[in-house]
Amino acid sequence: MTRTDNLVVWMLRAAWVTLPVTVGGTFADATTDWSDPTSVVFAILAWTAWGGALVAILAPRPAGLTAVRIVAPLLFVTTAAAGAEVGAGGAPAVVVAGATAVLALSSAFATAAANGASYGDEVRFPLRVPPALFLGPLPVAIAAVGAGIAAGPLLLSVRQWIWGTAAVVVGLPLAAVGVRALHGLSRRWAVLVPAGFVLADPATLDDPVLFRRERISALRPVASRPEPDPPRADEIDLRLGAQRGSCVLMLGEETDALHVRRGRRRSEQVKQRAVRFAVTRRFTLLARAAARRIPVVDQAATPPPTNRSPE
pLDDT tens figures, 199-226: 999 888 888 888 999 889 999 998 766 5
| pLDDT (tens digit per residue) in 18-72 | 999 999 999 998 888 899 999 999 999 999 999 999 999 999 999 999 999 999 9
- Cβ-count burial 240-258 (b if 16+ within 10 Å, e if not): bebeebbbbbbbeeeeeeb
Q: Are 27 and 82 in contact (CB under 8 A)?
A: yes
- Crossing angle of helices 107-116 and 62-86, rounded to 10°: 140
Q: How far is the C-alpha of 141 from the C-alpha of 183, rounded, in Å?
A: 11
Exposed, middle or buried: residue 19 (CB in 10 Å: 0-12, 13-18, 19+)?
buried
Nearest to residue 110, comparing CAs of 140, 69, 143?
69
pLDDT at residue 303, rounded to an integer: 45
Question: What confidence category does residue 270 fall into, taking pLDDT thresholds of 50, 70 and 90?
Answer: low
Q: How far is the C-alpha of 63 from the C-alpha of 5, rounded, in Å?
A: 19
pTM for the model stands at: 0.85
User: Who's near 6: CB < 8 A, 6+ residues apart?
Assistant: 108
Q: What percent of the chain has pLDDT over 90?
A: 58
Question: What confidence category does residue 263 fall into, taking pLDDT thresholds of 50, 70 and 90?
Answer: low
Residue 133's region, left for phi above 0, alpha for psi from -120 to 50, else beta, is alpha
